[in-house]
Amino acid sequence: MMSTDKNRLLIAAAALALIGGCHHTPDGGKTSTEVKANMTAMVAAFAARDADKAVSWDAPDFVGSFHGMADTHGQEADRALTKQQVADPAMKFSVSDVIVDAAKSGDLAVWRAKYSFTFTDPVTKQPKTEVGNWIVGWKRDGDGKLKEAWGVVSDTPSAPAAAPPA
């Protein structure tokens, strides 16, 4: 595992530890429901190639960690990356296995899911699909609105090829 991957994993683990006083709310809770709705709309905006809408939930101090790239800091940096991603004609995106953990106070939540992302490989110029984990931290701003504070996108390795029969 590369050093940056270890750092991202540590960041995600620390974030989950920070909300250790939280409870898992898979089927209820105002904050959990709000985060699920926000993320559903965000994923739909991304899939529809609407970069402006996709980043509209970013907090002003948003930090994004996308494997293999420098972190993005702030909504404008996230918008620039998102515009680049949605401009790719091969782009397809979906999420599954969504879980939301929300603080009892309703101030913090962590959304996590598996993702599938198809894009044009910069080396081969052919469509390539990667899968991985996407973790998003949410916090309430001064107006009480939930905003995306940080996001970590981490691809998972492909399963090793099966060994030929002996």
In this prediction, residue 13 carries a pLDDT of 42
In this prediction, residue 11 carries a pLDDT of 46
pLDDT tens by residue, 60-115: 999 999 988 899 999 999 999 999 999 999 999 999 999 999 998 889 999 999 99
Query: With 0-12 CB in 10 A as exposed, 13-18 as middle and 19+ as buried, what is 144?
Result: exposed
In this prediction, residue 15 carries a pLDDT of 45
133 versus 12: the higher-pLDDT residue is 133
pLDDT at 119 over 70: yes
Residue type, 99: I
Its pTM surpasses 0.75: yes
If phi > 0 it is left, if psi is from -120 to 50 it is alpha, else beta; for residue 72 that is beta
pLDDT at 28 over 50: no
In this prediction, residue 129 carries a pLDDT of 94
Structural domains in the chain, sorted by start: 3-155 (3.10.450.50)
pLDDT band at 14 (very low <50, low <70, confident <90, very high): very low
Query: With 0-12 CB in 10 A as exposed, 13-18 as middle and 19+ as buried, what is 99?
Result: middle
In this prediction, residue 161 carries a pLDDT of 66
